Structure 1
Amino acid sequence: MVERYGNLSPRAQYLINGTPLSVSPSIKDLGVLMQSSLKFNDHISRIVSKARAKVNLIFKCFFSTEPGLYSRAFSTFVRPLLEYGSVVWSPHTVTLANHIKGVQRNFSKRLFIRCRIPYSLYPDRIAQLSLPTLEHRRLISDILFLHKSIHGFYSYDRTNLFKLSPLARSLRRSHSLRIVLPYSLPKSHSNFVTRAIDRWNVLSAEFVHSSPSNFRSHILSLPSISFTSDSLLRL
């Protein structure tokens, strides 16, 4: 089977023992559905469908009115489906992000009904359940991946993604691992660097130079509000 990426890829026909290989519009690579268009709409639709089915199963299997039980089940069985490989496929449009968010929104609403908790809006529901937003968790994944990339724990060519660019003079907002994009990118372009660069560049020097384990522990302990620029300056 052959998959071609981009409009400029060659359209040569490939054969094995004289049999032409079929061309596929998508292929699964390490659990991520890759489309020839380099978009991830199909992958997101697939994981959302699986996650919703898992949510339905949770409410079929449990009859408790204890909210914590359902929250733990969601974090254990559903959320990993929505997060695996997100550094690669993280949604670049509001529509796709809302499609993913709808799983947790629906889950929290059903939980409140099952546990006989008075109705609340979605932000208040997940706050009561101590569930961070899925957007926040994807951003954490991006920053963790960026941290390991900068410190050389991942071996890949990063020259087209980012480069180190410390400021010439020391400022309260800067550190020696500050990064910039190697060239101007269109606003629609999305990768883990473009999503995390603003947050990364305002982290404290002590924070960015810490070990992966300490960095991970610290960043996972931060509430969502801490990822605003003003809050990050105080870390």
Structure 2
Amino acid sequence: MSITLKKKPSLYEYNIQGEVLHRAKEHDYLGVTISDDLSWTAHCKKTTAKASRTLGMLRRTLSPCSKEVKTRAYLSLVRPQLEYGSEAWNPCTKTDINRIEQVQRQAARFVHCDYRRTTKVTPLVQALEWDTLHHKRMLNQATTFYKIQFNLVYIQLPSYLQISTTASRTQHGFNYQQPSSNVDVYGYSYYPRAVCIWNKLPISAVSVPSAEMFKTAALPAIREMRTPPTLKSL
């Protein structure tokens, strides 16, 4: 697989013992689909297809069950598939974001046993007090950054990330300079995106002594975050 953003890339043949290797546009690595253009569309499609099949199985087998049983089944068997590895991947396009959210919206109909076209799904999701999967991915990425920041995992921050030297009332003392990019592939990759979320968190979240406490403190702030006009998504 040749990773490039060029419209007409220079492609070369690779071979092992005279056998030409098949060229792939995407490949699964540790459960995450990597595409040759570094977009997350292929991964989102595979993830939602798998989660939808699991949700379909639950609808066929748990239809007579209570809301509590259906909710537990969704949270135990379906949503982990939609969140797996989201510390590393997170789509920025509305199409991919909505594609993933659609599975949870269908799950809300399943739990409420309400498949009427006239029923709005958003109130169903809110009644269940489910956070959007987009907010969950933001929290997962921010939590990983917290662990890196305070040496709770064996990952070092890249050298180009520097603590911000400008003072502001909205900063919490652990702010980093936002990496800039003219290319979405980098601008929405893990570190630029995680820094953007991290810098918006309050001091009460980033100064807690454990990752679990961080999740509890950071989630309300992440729910209130709004995407700046210059960005596709946070």
Pairwise TM-score range, normalised by the shorter structure: 0.7 to 0.9
Structure-2 change in CA distance of 1:6 and 1:212 (3 Å): farther
Q: Is the 8 A contact 2:51 2:78 kept in 1?
A: yes
Q: Is the 8 A contact 1:132 1:224 kept in 2?
A: no
Q: Is the 8 A contact 1:179 1:201 kept in 2?
A: yes
Structure-2 change in CA distance of 1:100 and 1:5 (3 Å): same
The question of 1:50 aligning with 2:50 is answered yes
Counterpart residue number, 1:201: 199
Please give the TM-score of this superposition, normalised by the length of structure 1: 0.80
Distance 1:19 1:92 in 2: 38
Q: Is the 8 A contact 2:135 2:223 kept in 1?
A: no
Structure 1, unmatched stretches of 5+, are 230-235
C-alpha deviations, 1:6-51, integer Å up to 9, x for none? Answer: 1577634322222222221111111111111111211111111111
Counterpart residue number, 2:171: 174
Distance 1:183 1:63 in 2: 49
Counterpart residue number, 1:149: 148
Structure-2 change in CA distance of 1:212 and 1:23 (3 Å): farther
Counterpart residue number, 1:62: 62
C-alpha deviations, 1:75-113, integer Å up to 9, x for none? Answer: 110011111112332111001111111111112123322
Q: Compare 62-71 and 189-198 and name the one that shifted more.
A: 189-198
Distance 2:201 2:218 in 1: 14
Distance 1:113 1:23 in 2: 45
Distance 1:83 1:105 in 2: 15
Could you tell me which amino acid in structure 2 is paired with residue 130 of structure 1?
Answer: E
Number of equivalences: 222
Q: Is the 8 A contact 1:165 1:178 kept in 2?
A: yes
Could you tell me which amino acid in structure 1 is paired with residue 134 of structure 2?
Answer: E
Q: Compare 56-65 and 91-100 and name the one that shifted more.
A: 56-65
Q: Percent identity?
A: 22
Could you tell me which amino acid in structure 2 is paired with residue 49 of structure 1?
Answer: A
Q: Is the 8 A contact 1:25 1:36 kept in 2?
A: yes
Within 5 Å, give how 1:1-235 maps onto structure 2: 3-7=1-5, 11-113=11-113, 120-152=119-151, 153-156=153-156, 158-160=158-160, 162-168=161-167, 171-186=168-183, 189-219=187-217, 222=220, 225-227=223-225
Q: Is the 8 A contact 2:54 2:78 kept in 1?
A: yes
Q: Is the 8 A contact 1:55 1:107 kept in 2?
A: yes
Q: Is the 8 A contact 2:34 2:40 kept in 1?
A: yes
Larger RCO (alpha carbons 8 Å, 6+ apart): 2
3-state SS in 2 of match to 1:59: helix
Distance 1:187 1:11 in 2: 23
3-state SS in 2 of match to 1:164: coil
Q: Is the 8 A contact 1:26 1:33 kept in 2?
A: yes
Distance 2:222 2:179 in 1: 29
Q: Is the 8 A contact 2:138 2:197 kept in 1?
A: no
Please give the TM-score of this superposition, normalised by the length of structure 2: 0.80
Distance 2:207 2:133 in 1: 26
Structure-2 change in CA distance of 1:40 and 1:145 (3 Å): same
Q: Is the 8 A contact 1:51 1:82 kept in 2?
A: yes
| RMSD over equivalenced CA pairs, Å | 2.9
